[in-house]
Amino acid sequence: MRRCLWGAVAVLVGFVCGIPVAYADTVAASHGTEPRSLARLFDNTAVSDDTRPGEADFDGSGSSLSAQDLTAAGWTPGRALTVQGARLSRPRAEAGEPDNVRADGQSVRVRGRGDALAFLVAGTGGTDLSGTGTGTVRYTNGSGSSYRLSAPDWRGGPLATKAVALPHINTPGGPLAQKAKLYVVTVPIAAGREVASVRLPRNRDLHVFALAVRPSTRGWTGTWAVSASGYTAVGPWTDRTLRLVVHTSAGGPRVRIRLDNTFASAPVRIGGASVAVQATGAQAAAPPVPLSFRGAAGTEIPAGAQAFSDPVGFDVPADANLLVSFHLPGTVTAAPVHQLAVQRSYVSEPGDHADDAAPDAYTSTITNWPLLTGVDVAGGPGSVVVLGDSITDGEKSTQGANHRWPDVLATRLRNQHVVPHYGVLNQGISANRVVTDRYPGDGISTDTGGVSALHRLDRDVLAQTSARTALVFEGVNDVRWGASADQVVAGLREIADRAHARGIRVLAATIAPCEGETLCTAAADTQRTAVNAWIRDNVRDSKYLDGVLDFDAVLRDPAHPARLLPAYDSGDHLHPGDAGLAALADSVDLGSLVPRT
């Protein structure tokens, strides 16, 4: 049995620190006062009008969030926002009215089935509240489970994991040019049980603005996905339509897309949108199928939020290129992007051309993917998520050929009938690291190496559609830039622990050799081999990992193990070419992808 780290995990695995669930449920389900709606429990005012800052005192020193800043970000009172797949409503309170509760063991009425609870929170008191608050979930069948809730500080917490950052803080002495942050934090709940109420932790520096059950994505399979790797200047685009080319892994009879305004400070407006199978270039093989958003042709996505299109009947073929088109009616000068697409996409002349089958209006090209982060198909067995860096992202693979190793893995899955035909979601980011942010998580930047794997894990793995297994292939950039093996191993352990808490199987890949590349020094190789030794040790004791992919052994030159095999080397001594990427995919034991029941 795994080490006991979270009570909520225990509901899934059967014990709480050695206590059978039946008894643990009885203990966790004990409660006092009758549950009430969160709004009826509000006892703190966090938001003030800029002209009347004295009407709010969020942190006990008279400081508060700006109502004007929240409105500029699209976070208006009462607005429902989707973040990490959870739909949360900002309190309807106006500036100067109570809008959050200081956690003190209150029982909150919450209903729904899903895979997680989502909290819109922030901490006050000057330090992050890292797992210091323990609460309980009560289910309609009378059972219960516990959870631990962390809340970064609203002023000192990381930008990399925030839901939204506001440009200033209101204080009794006037505005302060310091970022104010709100966070969405999710915690696991018992799958299949209906939540009846949630008891908050006891920590009055922990402020809760909203709470909801994130619905399960079972019944959907992710067929394509990418991570937002940064927030960069684009275009500028005014009244343009983007037509993005993406490659499916799994097929299905219905489709929906996901657009993310990650890292943004302002809303983005989406006009018409559509999906089609690509013929060639920007030409659709058949008239595009229009998409809608909660019944409307378009939507506005607040800063830091996301939008899912409504499901629509559309026969999505496996192993095919889709054209996902969406109109930007306003002016967009910066956007969240996935920088390394290894694929050419298209931008139109002015106008809404989402429904055009012909390519004529699409007169320019781009080589990144802005805003679009996912395509899901109905049915199927769920998804395998690959968390990685540039080798996973497809650096040095042939443009437009879909020779990234996760693409080849998806082909292997389709061409067999022993294990389920999972969708394969590529969450690789070129230059990404396990423990250090390349992109700081806020503001326009030319660095698109992303926030660290630890900081993006919740969004890029745990919240992905029907994630069953995570394959983690990172660490070379950490050791190349001076991180120690101990730091990388600690990061991999945390990734495994957090994924296991959500019932996700975790496989880790050994770090490939790279001698001959400028930063792959002898010192870096020493740290690389130490990380690999730890990963391989898990084959024997399985303390953290459910399996190991020995990519180092696949790619290295037997005559010179610190180097890539010449036949696999793209020429830069760091990235494999198409042959090496195919060798990685071919080495994966497909049976290791299947979750253990």
Q: What is the DSSP string of 103-129?
A: EES-EEEEEE-SSEEEEEEEE-SSS-E
Residue 128 banded pLDDT, cuts 50, 70, 90: confident
**Residues 6+ positions from 561 with CB-CB distance below 8 Å:** 513
Query: Which range is least confidently modeled, 297-301, 397-401, 534-538?
Result: 534-538
Full-model pTM:
0.93
Judge whether residue 22 has pLDDT over 80: no
| Residues 423-446: tens digit of each pLDDT | 999 999 999 999 999 999 999 999
Q: What is the mean pLDDT of the chain?
A: 93
Better pLDDT: 247 or 540 = 247
Classify residue 173 as exposed, middle or buried by CB count within 10 Å of its CB (0-12, 13-18, 19+).
Answer: exposed
Q: What is the pLDDT of residue 2?
A: 37
Q: What is the pLDDT of residue 25?
A: 39
| Residues 34-82: tens digit of each pLDDT | 999 999 999 999 999 999 999 999 999 999 999 999 999 999 999 999 9
DSSP 155: T
E strand residue ranges, 389-512: 423-428, 467-473, 505-509
Judge whether residue 382 has pLDDT over 90: yes
CB 263 within 8 A of CB 441: yes
Phi, psi of 306 (to 5 degrees): -140, 165
Judge whether residue 5 has pLDDT over 70: no
d(CA 308, CA 324): 13
d(CA 254, CA 279): 20
The reply to whether omega before 236 is within 30° of 0 (cis) is yes
Mean pLDDT across 313-324: 98
**Two tokens, residue 285:** 């093989």
d(CA 403, CA 187): 36
Residue 517 banded pLDDT, cuts 50, 70, 90: very high
Percentages of the chain per state (helix, strand, coil), in multiples of 5: 20, 40, 40
CB 511 within 8 A of CB 526: no
| Residues 483-515: tens digit of each pLDDT | 999 999 999 999 999 999 999 999 999 999 999
CB 387 within 8 A of CB 461: yes
Judge whether residue 539 has pLDDT over 90: no
Mean pLDDT across 88-92: 96
For 327, the enclosing helix (H) or strand (E) is strand 321-338
Q: Helix axis angle, 405-414 relative to 578-587, nearest 10°?
A: 50
Phi, psi of 422 (to 5 degrees): -65, 150
Nearest to 364 by CA among 354, 350, 378: 350
Q: Helix axis angle, 485-501 relative to 522-541, nearest 10°?
A: 40
Mean pLDDT across 341-369: 98
Tokens 């939204």 belong to residue: 164
Judge whether residue 553 has pLDDT over 80: yes
d(CA 343, CA 244): 9
Classify residue 449 as exposed, middle or buried by CB count within 10 Å of its CB (0-12, 13-18, 19+).
Answer: buried
Classify residue 355 as exposed, middle or buried by CB count within 10 Å of its CB (0-12, 13-18, 19+).
Answer: middle
Mean pLDDT across 348-352: 98
* Alpha helices, H only, 299-389: none
Q: Enumerate the β-bridge partners of residue 89.
A: 80
Q: What is the pLDDT of residue 597?
A: 66
d(CA 549, CA 497): 18
CB 323 within 8 A of CB 343: no
d(CA 365, CA 134): 51
Query: Which range is least confidently modeled, 20-24, 95-99, 132-136?
Result: 20-24
| Residues 217-245: tens digit of each pLDDT | 989 999 999 999 999 999 999 999 999 99
Q: What is the pLDDT of residue 133?
A: 76
Rounded alpha-carbon distances, angstroms, from residue 353 to 82, 177, 358, 371, 501 = 27, 41, 9, 17, 44
Q: What is the pLDDT of residue 87?
A: 97
Mean pLDDT across 353-361: 98
| Residues 148-171: tens digit of each pLDDT | 998 999 999 999 999 999 999 999
The 3-state DSSP class for residue 551 equals helix
Residue 126 banded pLDDT, cuts 50, 70, 90: confident
Residue 406 banded pLDDT, cuts 50, 70, 90: very high
Phi, psi of 38 (to 5 degrees): -60, -40
d(CA 56, CA 172): 10
d(CA 565, CA 320): 31
| Residues 556-576: tens digit of each pLDDT | 999 999 999 999 999 999 999
Classify residue 518 as exposed, middle or buried by CB count within 10 Å of its CB (0-12, 13-18, 19+).
Answer: exposed
Residue 541 banded pLDDT, cuts 50, 70, 90: low
Following DSSP, what letter does each residue of 8-45 receive, concatenated? HHHHHHSEETTEEHHHHHHHHH---SPPB-HHHH--B-
Q: Which long-range contacts (CB under 8 A, 24 or more apart) does 287-295 make?
A: 287/355, 287/357, 288/323, 288/325, 288/354, 288/355, 288/356, 288/357, 289/255, 289/313, 289/314, 290/354, 290/355, 291/256, 291/257
Tokens 């909520």 belong to residue: 8
